[in-house]
Amino acid sequence: MPGHKRVAVMSPQTRLAHSRRRLRGRWRVPKLDPVGAERAAELYRRQRTLAVAPLVVLFVGILGLPLVFALFPGLDELRVLGVPVSWLALALLPYPALTALAAWHLRRAEDAEDLE
Amino acid sequence: MDARIWALAGISLVTVATFYLGYRSSRTASTTQDFLVARRTVRSRRNAAAVSGEYLSAASFLGVAGLVLKDGADALWYPVGFTAGYLALMLFVAAPLRRSGAYTLPDFCEARLGSRALRGLAAAFVVFIGILYVVPQLQAAGLAVSNILPIPTWVGSLVVTVVVIVNVFGGGMRAITLVQAFQYWLKLFAIAAPTLVLCMLFIGGGGLRGGHVTGLSEPLPPVFTEHTTLRIETPVLLEVEDTVNLVANGVVDGDKVSGSAYWTPLGSPYEVDVGTELHFYEGSAVPVVVGAPITNDLWLAPSTSGSDLVTTYSLMLALFLGTMGLPHVLVRFYTNPDGRAARRTTLHVLMLLGLFYLFPILLGALSRLYVPELLVTGSTDAAVLKLPTRIAPGLLGEILGAVLTAGAFAAFLSTSSGLVVSVSGVLSTDVLRGRVRDFRFATAIAGGAPLALAIVLRPSDISLSVGMSFALAASTFCPVLLLGVWWRKLTWVGAAVGMVVGGGLVLASLVLNTISDFTGRWAPAILGQPALITVPIAFLTVIVVSKATPARMPADLAQIRLRMHAPDGLGFVRDRAVARFGTPEERARMTDGRHRR
């Protein structure tokens, strides 16, 4: 129904307070209490440390594969069920590996957050 | 004609389903927060399907198979890179980004670095990258539709734009989320079912069918499976491995030719002009576009030379870091309820993408056997759509083709709707005032402007290679995000200069590369994939300039940083979107005042 807007009933004081808050629109960073802040700082360092291992594994895998192919051209001759090993290594292997890496990191990252 | 009717039916079904789902989920959308971030209520699995649905664009659905057809083993890096980008996102960005409480990428920049100027610059880059991405989607949709019906290409682009705008208009992010999640599963079905049927037919039909095709590991070029007449639509340079007997009508190597011709390895490459018709005989070797592997054994083996290795690494770096710089991907992570859900989303995305990419690779390998003529015209993206009728002539092939066409159409729809939402979110909050009607107005612009560009520009004018657009994202937003989350001393001046330098370098190499294509290909290969140079330079610039301007660090830095890394349990999820667009009640609930609760 047009022109039929619902209005919240409130005391004049509340209305005044609300309209003031609306004017003062700037977003302020909410504060953490000292204990929370300390925990957050510790978590920041911990998450950074945790991310290093998966990153190294990933880099070794991704930078390593082209090198492996370059160093051992014989891999192309090697077949599993008629498919060259290099294709298996590029088309099948990376996706489960990436998922496993992600699942591993997820668990560690969430465990770190859950610690008491 | 039958095949066209099937394909048209497929496209119509996808369109109707998209409309319906969008309409259904728009009914609950009424506030700015619904339109911007779906009220942050999207659970990780639904969001992961939506992210994957949006991410698997035509480049993935059609392009990966085409790349595999042309480049073989080297093309397998593309899907690996597309997927690995999400691991980087998970490791470094997803949770802190969501916890920052921002609602767009420019808003994150302002929240972290406290600068309106940087916010404006980031908004400009989001709009630029967004439009650069949408235009090829619309053009490809136009081409796909004009292949089915005898209508001009702009009709298809218009249809996609209208469907997207209507959906986004109705419910913004709220409407798009369900649509994109649905479209992921639709695309998975649309590529998995035909691939499995075609593979079964291929294996059941005795594999390589005697002497008709070249085995994929033989040191010979692929051969035509039937008499083939091709019309060259864009000028190409062709190479042959063995003498090829053909009939050519048109312009070859600048000379007018008409009648039978012999192409020899000594004479190659042959420069074939637009409008030339080439007729090849059954069983003769297929010439390929210069730069692609000629024989099947070269195609099968990963390239091992040094310069190829550098290009591969450069591509991997662009894909790996570019994913986290794509605004339309990032905006989906703002819709999760908390940082933990955002992190889980990436895990699901990795699974969904890995599942999907198996199929285009299989299709690409099959098309090397059955549609090698695409190697001559260079339009390898058509491989997926042409393959079914070649392997299974008759009704089955037509239906499979229609399913694949419908999947491709879903890819155009989902990717462009994600891009339109992210661009209009930025336009409505940074240029306009951010009310729902502003968002709707911005949607009309974010959809209409790319449509106009798509119609005016020729497809080759703007379509950046996939690698290039990822390089652009990796050189602009990636350094700001990574350093913004993990480096204390970042300043807005450093971020701004880094974005301009990184983006400028990528665009410069794009221009140089285009010029060199017209003037004898003098540019080194790295210019075609510059991420290996531009990304480190962008990072360095950000760091050096930030160190030089330590006074510009935001005053409440410690608080901002801690909040990004505080676990959800500390009760932070205080939302910048609520602070700016929420009702007085919602905002009262999140302030720290005496009257809290």
What six digits make up the tokens of B42?
């999207």
pLDDT-derived band at B157 (thresholds 50, 70, 90) equals very high
Residue in A18, A105, A109 closest to B584 by CB? A18
Query: Looking at the domain assignment, is residue A3 inside a domain?
Result: no
Pair (B81, B195) in one structural domain:
yes
Residue A76, CA distances (Å) to A79, A85, B21, B299, B566 in order? 8, 6, 47, 11, 49
Return the pLDDT at B591.
59
Contact state of A30 with B592 under an 8 Å Cβ cutoff: yes
Pair (B119, B189) in one structural domain:
yes
Return the pLDDT at B298.
79
Query: Looking at the domain assignment, is residue B309 inside a domain?
Result: no
Are B530 and B509 in contact by the 8 Å Cβ rule? The answer is yes
Query: Looking at the domain assignment, is residue B291 inside a domain?
Result: no
B84-120 residue pLDDT tens: 999 999 999 999 999 888 999 999 999 899 899 999 9
In chain B, how many domains are there?
A: 2
Calpha distance B307→B101 (Å, rounded)? 44
Residue A24 has pLDDT above 60, yes or no: no
Query: Looking at the domain assignment, is residue A19 inside a domain?
Result: no
Closest-CA residue of A relative to B360 is: A91
Residue B409 has pLDDT above 50, yes or no: yes
A113 to chain B, minimum CA–CA distance in Å?
Answer: 6
State whether the Cα torsion A53-A56-A58-A61 is positive or negative: negative
Calpha distance A91→B86 (Å, rounded)? 17
Residue B550 has pLDDT above 60, yes or no: yes
Query: Looking at the domain assignment, is residue B306 inside a domain?
Result: no
Return the pLDDT at B595.
45
Return the pLDDT at B572.
53
pLDDT-derived band at B121 (thresholds 50, 70, 90) equals very high
Pair (B454, B333) in one structural domain:
yes
Contact state of A43 with B92 under an 8 Å Cβ cutoff: no
CB-neighbour burial class of residue B449 (10 A; exposed 0-12, middle 13-18, buried 19+): middle
Put simply, the chain A residues between 3 and 22 with a CB less than 8 A from any chain B CB are 8, 18-19, 21-22
Q: Contacts from B107-112 at CB under 8 Å and sequence distance 24+?
A: B107/B429, B107/B576, B108/B481, B108/B484, B109/B480, B109/B484, B109/B492, B109/B495, B111/A27, B111/B560, B111/B576, B112/B484, B112/B490, B112/B554, B112/B560, B112/B564
Q: What is the dihedral of CA B40, B319, B216, B63, to 10 degrees?
A: 60
pLDDT-derived band at B306 (thresholds 50, 70, 90) equals low
DSSP class of residue B63 equals I
Upper half-sphere CA count for residue B185 (Cβ side, 13 Å): 11
Calpha distance B567→B339 (Å, rounded)? 8
Supply angle C-alpha B294, B400, A93, rounded to 5: 55
Calpha distance B466→B67 (Å, rounded)? 11
Closest-CA residue of B relative to A31 is: B559
Contact state of A29 with B556 under an 8 Å Cβ cutoff: yes
Pair (B383, B425) in one structural domain:
yes
Least confident of A36-50, B18-32, B411-425: A36-50
A17 to chain B, minimum CA–CA distance in Å?
Answer: 9
Contact state of B111 with A103 under an 8 Å Cβ cutoff: no
Higher pLDDT, A109 or A20: A109
Higher pLDDT, B596 or B587: B587
Query: Looking at the domain assignment, is residue B573 inside a domain?
Result: no
Tell how far CA B567 is from the center of its chain: 32
Query: Looking at the domain assignment, is residue B592 inside a domain?
Result: no
Pair (B275, B332) in one structural domain:
no
Contact state of A76 with B559 under an 8 Å Cβ cutoff: no
DSSP class of residue A57 equals H
Put simply, the chain A residues between 84 and 113 with a CB less than 8 A from any chain B CB are 84, 86-87, 90-92, 94-96, 98-99, 101-103, 105-106, 109-110, 113
Contacts of A90 in chain B (CB under 8 A): 73, 76-77, 80, 302
B72 to chain A, minimum CA–CA distance in Å?
Answer: 9
What are phi and psi for residue B569, nearest 5 degrees?
Answer: -60, -25
Are B506 and B530 in contact by the 8 Å Cβ rule? The answer is yes
Query: Looking at the domain assignment, is residue A9 inside a domain?
Result: no
Calpha distance B525→B540 (Å, rounded)? 23
Tell how far CA B251 is from the center of its chain: 35
B160-196 residue pLDDT tens: 999 999 999 988 999 999 999 999 999 999 999 999 9
- Helix or strand or coil: residue B216? coil
Return the pLDDT at B211.
46
Say which residues have a Cβ less than 8 Å from residue A59's Cβ, sequence separation at least 6. Answer: none
Contacts of A73 in chain B (CB under 8 A): 301, 304
Contact state of B76 with A25 under an 8 Å Cβ cutoff: no
Least confident of A1-5, B261-265, B328-332: A1-5
Contact state of A95 with B570 under an 8 Å Cβ cutoff: no
In chain A, how many domains are there?
A: 1
Residue A25 has pLDDT above 70, yes or no: no
Residue in B83, B343, B559 closest to A109 by CB? B343
Once rounded to an integer, what is the mean pLDDT over residues B431-445?
91
Contacts of A32 in chain B (CB under 8 A): 559, 562-563, 566, 570, 572
Residue B1 has pLDDT above 80, yes or no: no
Pair (B116, B199) in one structural domain:
yes
Categorise residue B278: left if φ over 0, alpha if ψ from -120 to 50, beta otherwise: beta
pLDDT-derived band at B308 (thresholds 50, 70, 90) equals confident
Query: Looking at the domain assignment, is residue A39 inside a domain?
Result: yes
pLDDT-derived band at B15 (thresholds 50, 70, 90) equals very high
Pair (B133, B41) in one structural domain:
yes
Contacts of B77 in chain A (CB under 8 A): 90
Calpha distance B245→B217 (Å, rounded)? 24
CATH number at residue B12: 1.10.4160.10
Q: Which residues are B246's β-sheet partners?
A: B261, B280
CB atoms near residue B310 (< 10 Å): 16
Once rounded to an integer, what is the mean pLDDT over residues B330-355?
94
Contact state of B588 with A47 under an 8 Å Cβ cutoff: no
**Range picked from B193-207, B258-272, B500-514, B575-589 for highest mean pLDDT:** B500-514
A3 to chain B, minimum CA–CA distance in Å?
Answer: 17
Query: Looking at the domain assignment, is residue A12 inside a domain?
Result: no
Are B297 and A86 in contact by the 8 Å Cβ rule? The answer is no
Pair (B147, B55) in one structural domain:
yes
Q: Which residues are B261's β-sheet partners?
A: B246
Range of the domain at B339: 2-204+319-459
Residue in A29, A58, A94 closest to B563 by CB? A29
Contacts of B92 in chain A (CB under 8 A): 51
What six digits make up the tokens of B117?
């100027």
Categorise residue B139: left if φ over 0, alpha if ψ from -120 to 50, beta otherwise: alpha
Pair (B97, B184) in one structural domain:
yes
Pair (B174, B138) in one structural domain:
yes
What are phi and psi for residue B338, nearest 5 degrees?
Answer: -150, 180
Residue in A76, A92, A98 closest to B84 by CB? A98
Q: Is the peptide bond before A96 cis (omega within 30 degrees of 0)?
A: no
The ipTM, to two decimals, is: 0.89
pLDDT-derived band at A27 (thresholds 50, 70, 90) equals low
Query: Looking at the domain assignment, is residue B218 inside a domain?
Result: no
CB-neighbour burial class of residue A3 (10 A; exposed 0-12, middle 13-18, buried 19+): exposed
Return the pLDDT at A20.
61
Range of the domain at A67: 32-114
Residue A42 at interface with chain B, using a CB cutoff of 8 Å:
no
What six digits make up the tokens of B372?
């090698």
Pair (B43, B170) in one structural domain:
yes
A6 to chain B, minimum CA–CA distance in Å?
Answer: 14
Query: Looking at the domain assignment, is residue B515 inside a domain?
Result: no
B210-251 residue pLDDT tens: 445 666 767 778 888 778 888 877 777 888 877 888 888 888
Task: Show which of B439, B459, B479 is a domain's final residue.
Answer: B459
H-helix or E-strand spanning residue B279 = strand B277-280
Calpha distance B263→B278 (Å, rounded)? 12
Query: Looking at the domain assignment, is residue A11 inside a domain?
Result: no
Return the pLDDT at B590.
66
Q: How many CB pairs under 8 A join A and B?
A: 146
Return the pLDDT at A30.
58
Pair (B28, B73) in one structural domain:
yes
Put simply, the chain B residues between 509 and 568 with a CB less than 8 A from any chain A CB are 556, 558-563, 565-568
What are phi and psi for residue B573, nearest 5 degrees?
Answer: -50, 65
Q: Contacts from B140-144 at CB under 8 Å and sequence distance 24+?
A: B140/B58, B140/B62, B140/B381, B140/B412, B140/B459, B141/B58, B141/B409, B141/B412, B141/B416, B142/B454, B143/B459, B144/B385, B144/B405, B144/B408, B144/B409, B144/B412
pLDDT-derived band at A91 (thresholds 50, 70, 90) equals confident
Query: Looking at the domain assignment, is residue B578 inside a domain?
Result: no
CB atoms near residue B145 (< 10 Å): 25
Residue in B92, B355, B580 closest to A27 by CB? B580
Query: Looking at the domain assignment, is residue A13 inside a domain?
Result: no
Query: Looking at the domain assignment, is residue A71 inside a domain?
Result: yes
Return the pLDDT at B259.
79
Are B452 and B130 in contact by the 8 Å Cβ rule? The answer is no
Please choose, from the candidates B588, B404, B577, the residue with its C-alpha nearest in 3D space to the C-alpha of residue B35.
B577
Return the pLDDT at A115.
73
pTM: 0.89
How high does pLDDT run on average in chain B?
86
